[in-house]
Amino acid sequence: MSSIPAFPIADAEPQAVRRVALSATPDDRQMLRAAAELTRDINEARPEIYWPDMLLSAALGYAALAGAILIANPVLAVASGIVSVLALYRALLFIHEISHFHRTALPGFRTAWNLLVGIPMLTPSFMYEGVHTLHHARQRYGTVEDPEYLPLALMKPWSLPLFLLVALLAPPALVIRFGILSPLGAIFPPLRRFVWERFSALSINPAFRRRPAEGEQARRFLWQEVGASIWAMALIASIFWLGWRPLLIALGVASIVAVFNQLRTLVAHLWENEGEQMTVTGQYLDSVNVPPPSPMAALWAPVGLRYHALHHLLPSLPYHSLAEAHRRISAELGADSTYGRTSYKSMTFLVLRIARSTMKR
């Protein structure tokens, strides 16, 4: 694979100018055309990549989690816990791919992932399916109707620690949601409607209210919720014969996974839109790629998510094709193109950039 052109960091213009430009940016037709034409031969999901990646990540994650619970040596137990975090994080992020699947893509993968990863981690795919695609809609992205957008760069400094704290508390909240609220919702329909609207989506926008699922989707979502509810009740009951330690360690690993994902979310966009509708190019410029040679991005943004801006150009492109797509488009358009403006060098750089922006509020 040939080397990728080194793009300048897109941080030259003043922030206020950037916000106006993004909300009024016309589509770069050359970039959109090149992105589509250069990737037509790599836009099919390959089962020989998806299945081993997901299965091995899940198996390693659970084996390492068992080690973190059972190993007496604290150093080895912590090391095993770190491996579990990284592996389960990778396995969990296949939910993003599933949310973009065509209904005929990779038969059985969605069901297998839910049984092996989604339900055990209390994050079944219905939490993202039918939600994440709203984030990609041109009329919704960056507006109050986008479930995955907050103008974080324009908020107060305390908003960033709070953003991470919410993720830290997410796993115990999911145990309560599925283990207590779901069973009660089966008895009290108003509670079920409330839980579905407020606590059934992986969203960061507190104003988002989820609409009821319909048809085949509703039936598919039902078995996922029932499975997660049974598993959550089993976790709660486990403390009576296994004690608190296994559950607390598992929740600790899950909480670190959630914080890791929240940090990745924090740097997936520039978060500088104040509610206006944006073009596809505007969405792209408000998004982030962290391409090679950044050495750690493959760990904190696995399953192709280091190319998040590119993903907003080509939402249906499978994760294993994003690196090659980035190489092709970069070579075609050059370093001075619109495409090059979304390449950043690291998570640290992006976190500090957003933090500095909040300090100006």
What's the chain's Rg over C-alpha atoms? 21
Q: What would the pLDDT profile of 38-91 be if each residue is shown by its tens digit?
A: 999 999 999 999 999 999 999 999 999 999 999 999 999 999 999 999 999 999
Predicted model pTM = 0.92
Cα of first residue to Cα of last residue in the chain, in angstroms, is 44
Q: Which positions of the chain have pLDDT values less than 70?
A: 1-21, 23, 361
Q: What is the pLDDT of residue 171?
A: 96
Per-residue pLDDT at 361: 65
What are the domain boundaries of the chain? 15-44+269-356
How far is residue 342's CA from residue 270's CA, in Å, rounded to a whole number? 10
